[in-house]
Amino acid sequence: MSVKVGRWRMPGWAAGGVLAIAGGSYLAAHLRNGWFPWDEGSIALTAERVLLGELPHKDFPDLYTGGLTFLNAAAFRMLGVELLSPRIALLVAFVAWLVVLYHLSARFLPQWLSAMVVALGVVWSVPNYPAAVPSWYNLFFATAGLLAIVVFSDGGKMRWVWLAGICAGLSICAKIVGVFFAVGVVVFLLFYEQTSPEHERAQTTDYGYSVLVCLFSASLFLALIQLISRAGGTAQVFRFVVPISALVSVLVIEEWRRLRSNRGLRSRYRSVLRPAASFLVGMSIPLLVLSLPYILSNSVPDLLEGVLIRPTRRLEYAVRPPPPMLSIIPTLSVVCVLALGLRLRPSHRWAQNVFLLSIGAVILVAARWSWGAYLFVWLSAYHLIPFVVVAGCIWVGSATAPNRDRRRIFALLSITAGVGLVEFPYAGRIYFLYAAALVFLTVAALVWQIGIGRLQKLAVGIPWAFYFTFGLAVMNPQPPGTAGPHIPDQRWAELAIPRARLRVSPSDSLVYSRLMQIIRARGDSEIGYAGPDAPEVYFLTGSRVRTPMLFDFLQQEDGSPLDDPGHLNGYDLIVLNHEPPFSPELSPAILERLASQFPRSAVAGHFEVRWRE
């Protein structure tokens, strides 16, 4: 694969490298910008505990599976114990991801459009929130696994499925939602078996395997309904259930069409179980490596509880539904414009280009200053997943295209739908960005596949140039917690605290600087408690408290340690957060008791520092 520039042809590997270096340089300029204090605190505090020789889930609570905590601990060891170190490790992974994203895009798109997809992937991803949260690594591993699956689908050897399994295992080691990527791969492997060359020559009838495929499809649908029902509504069903339903519908329809087979049940089993076994073997390797310390320390139950049981409590406290159904109107507008372009006569397409350029320029200027225009652009991208998966499934299910093309598009659809489930149960603005790059790639691949020969390059390129400009000029300059039009140029201030080296909002800089001044004035007093939901205080102060709490709601079922009046014996100082992001505020009874135990106090923003006489 190569990119032609004039008479000179750039090799594909060189084009991917150039894009990765450019994207990495762009992220490096944003790497210190912005934070959610609770995210940075939980990332850094857990990594430091591993650096001290402790195990996640066994010796301290961890929000995620634990694999990324070991990586962040390694970053601390090599680069220093400060908030910036895990971000540098993220930067390295980001550069590698851009190379993978380019080569994946180049398998579906011409090189100029692949480059645009990579550029979109840059500005709609990590620069918006460069914290080393595991969801970025879920995106990176899913992209690499998808590339391996596409290579296998194009005739590659079985080792590519094994490599996809490795990516799935690494993704799960970062965060349990990597399971959704694995589910997407399994759905694809079933479709791959249905459309394999051997199956195309089928002649006799065999209902057994078809029944099993239908049972799997129904089970997956019902399991998702059960999951969503715990925090569900119409918006959740549209966002999360509709894409998966479309995918399993394709499996059922394809099975109905291909009931005639000259192979027995055992033969069909072999055709799907061989790649599935390779995938599972690959997936098990990282999981086994992560489990070894727990096996050797007889603490596997702690790992299972921390990974599978405690996260379910987030469904009660850390829940945010997607935008309401009326918010799909901007996406419908974009879909209608793209569909209209496919039906226009060649002589009229210049008018479409003029319209797209004019209206796009007006909206971009307005989005810089107007909340309504900003929201229109954001929502037009946000709701693309259900639309593109359903449209793609209709195209795949039509069975008019060659099976090779159908398999490749179905791989994109199934993985993108799976990765999109990262937004459940908390569909915050940032969470769409954990899948946006694959969404844009899937839309571009489907439009190019359907509209090849009927669309001018300009008509295809304008929408991606529009979203790129929006990301570059409007989204990227914003602090991660801000969603809206232009804010004053005074956006960043140094967080002048040891262990930080970040740039945050001026208000956060003032609050945390004042907080550290109050704590330092107490001398060597050890913090006995910081919360609710203030893990960053433990880390920034270098506290060695015996039982630090990341998020109080994770321990609500066991009761808060503060319920025990003697819990803080031996400590002289506590920090109370009166604006916790997730957990409930402390009860008046507990606050009254703490005030009697720690009668002296000082305030720093939403924090209250209390200490003994």
Average pLDDT over residues 251-256: 87
Q: For position 183, what pLDDT does the model report?
A: 96
- For residue 306, the 8-state DSSP code is I
Helices 436-451, 134-153: inter-axial angle, 10-degree rounding: 30
- Sorted by sequence, the CB contacts under 8 Å of residue 48 that are 6+ apart come out as 73, 76, 81, 539
At 484, list the tokens: 């809206």
DSSP string, 491-516: --EE--STTT--EE-HHHHHHHHHHH
Compute CA 594 distance to the chain's CA centroid, rounded to the nearest angstrom.
39
Gap between the Cα atoms of 389 and 26, Å rounded: 31
Gap between the Cα atoms of 451 and 443, Å rounded: 12
Average pLDDT, the chain: 86
Enter the pTM of the model: 0.92
Gap between the Cα atoms of 215 and 428, Å rounded: 33
Amino acid at 118: V
Instruction: Report whether pLDDT(479) > 70.
Output: yes
Gap between the Cα atoms of 108 and 579, Å rounded: 47
Q: For position 427, what pLDDT does the model report?
A: 79
Q: For position 548, what pLDDT does the model report?
A: 67
pLDDT digits (tens, 9 = 90+) for 564-602: 778 888 888 999 999 998 888 888 999 999 999 999 999
Question: Which segments of 232-327 does DSSP mark as H helices, in order?
Answer: 234-236, 242-257, 265-296, 300-304, 314-317
Average pLDDT over residues 68-83: 96
At 536, list the tokens: 């960053």
Q: For position 22, what pLDDT does the model report?
A: 96
Give kind and range of the element (H or E) at residue 340.
helix 329-343
| Max avg pLDDT among 226-240, 469-483, 497-511 | 497-511
Gap between the Cα atoms of 171 and 181, Å rounded: 8
Q: For position 482, what pLDDT does the model report?
A: 67
Gap between the Cα atoms of 250 and 406, Å rounded: 11
Q: CA separation (Å) from 500 to 176, 512, 550?
A: 28, 11, 18
pLDDT digits (tens, 9 = 90+) for 90-103: 999 999 999 999 99
Q: Are 210 and 255 in contact (CB under 8 A)?
A: yes
Q: For position 259, what pLDDT does the model report?
A: 67
Q: For position 108, what pLDDT does the model report?
A: 93
Instruction: Report whether pLDDT(204) > 50.
Output: no
pLDDT digits (tens, 9 = 90+) for 43-72: 999 999 999 999 999 988 888 999 999 999
Q: How many helices (DSSP H) and strands (DSSP E) are in the chain?
A: 26, 8
Among 45, 34, 36, 87, CA closest to 550: 45
Please give the share of the chain, as a percent, with pLDDT higher than 70. Answer: 86
Give the residue, 391 or 370, on which the prediction is more confident. 391
pLDDT digits (tens, 9 = 90+) for 125-179: 999 999 999 999 999 999 999 999 999 998 878 999 999 999 999 999 999 999 9
